[in-house]
Chains A and B, each alone.
Chain A
């Protein structure tokens, strides 16, 4: 079956513009995660959805970042007034929910964002 799909795969934008990144999780996966990966770094947690609600938004770096999920499926990560430090690969992952995180994450290939 289809895996996690992210679009676009690459995005180049000018500083100050808004961008939207999209994630299509695996069908039936109720949990959805956004992570950010800067060059040579580990993954920085941004936000986690369970269904359409976000119990944990603790990783969003600033109020310029927001995310939503509709219909328990597609999620959009929006970055307003982009800054150069926002340049990174944004990874989306989904998983089944069962007790206490004992479910592996399935990752998309990411969106590489470059802010010029």
Chain B
């Protein structure tokens, strides 16, 4: 079974709105990462948050991590049509060297 599970599976919003995507995981982690995948392409790293961090920002992205609830959220503010893609959370399990385990992803559609 997947270590990370994203929610919702699909999200459709209007350009300019904020998009919030959630990820839950099952076991203790070293860090959690978010990636984006455009259709037919590889994944692109967005942001990494360590287990001792609670919030991190990068441009229009804000990621939070709640280790007590084993969950993370990715917020994209002022969305653009170019943000349309699939978004994946990935975790590095504690003690699992560098192996990243991915969820099934969230499909985000931003309508112009």
Contacts and interface: CB of A to CB of B under 8 A. Distances in A.
Given A35-B102, A101-B92, A102-B30, A110 B2 contact: no
A105 B2 CA distance: 19
Interface of B: 2, 30-31, 33, 35, 40-45, 48, 50, 88, 90, 92, 96-105
24 contacts: A31-B98, A33-B99, A35-B102, A41-B104, A42-B103, A42-B105, A45-B99, A48-B97, A50-B97, A55-B97, A97-B98, A100-B97, A100-B98, A101-B30, A102-B48, A104-B33, A104-B48, A105-B35, A105-B100, A107-B42, A108-B42, A109-B41, A109-B42, A110-B41
Contact of B50 (A91, A102, A104, A107): A102
Interface in A36-81: 40-43, 45, 48, 50, 55-56
Given A33-B100, A102-B92, A104-B45, 11 more contacts: A4-B42, A42-B103, A42-B105, A48-B98, A97-B98, A101-B31, A103-B98, A105-B100, A109-B41, A109-B42, A110-B41
Q: Which 4 A-B pairs have the closest CB atoms?
A: A107-B42, A101-B92, A104-B45, A42-B104
Interface of A: 4, 31, 33, 35, 40-43, 45, 48, 50, 55-56, 91, 93, 95, 97, 100-110
A107 B44 CA distance: 7
Contacts, number: 73
Contact of B98 (A91, A101, A107, A108): A101
B44 to A, nearest CB: 7
A44 B44 CA distance: 17
Q: How would you classify the secondary structure of chain B's contact residues: helix, strand, loop or mixed?
A: strand
A95 B100 CA distance: 11
A43 B88 contact: yes
B92 A56 contact: no
A100 B30 contact: yes
A32 to B, nearest CB: 11
A107 B43 contact: yes
A83 B93 CA distance: 32
